[in-house]
Amino acid sequence: MLFTEHDMDIVFEFADRIIVLDHGAAIAAGSPEAIRANPIVQATYLGAPEGPERS
């Protein structure tokens, strides 16, 4: 199943595999645990105060 959702709590609850897009480019892919731990995803979507620079 494919679905698009911006509410990450919903995504983490239902998805087995997640691909995160930012401005149309994939910035991360993996399990909910891997996505939750990804510093770029944290900075972009989960509200981490600082993250690594993206090019």
Taking only the tens place, the pLDDT of each residue in 5-48 is 888 889 889 999 999 999 999 999 999 999 999 999 988 887 76
Q: Whole-angstrom distance between the N-terminal and C-terminal Cα of the chain? A: 31
* pTM, to two decimals: 0.73
* pLDDT band at 53; cut points 50, 70, 90: low
The better pLDDT of the pair 46, 51 is held by: 46
Q: Which tokens belong to 20? A: 């995160």
Secondary structure, 3-state, the chain: CCCCCCCHHHHHHHCCCEEEEECCEEEEEECHHHHHHCHHHHHHHHCCCCCCCCC
Domain boundaries, the chain: 8-46
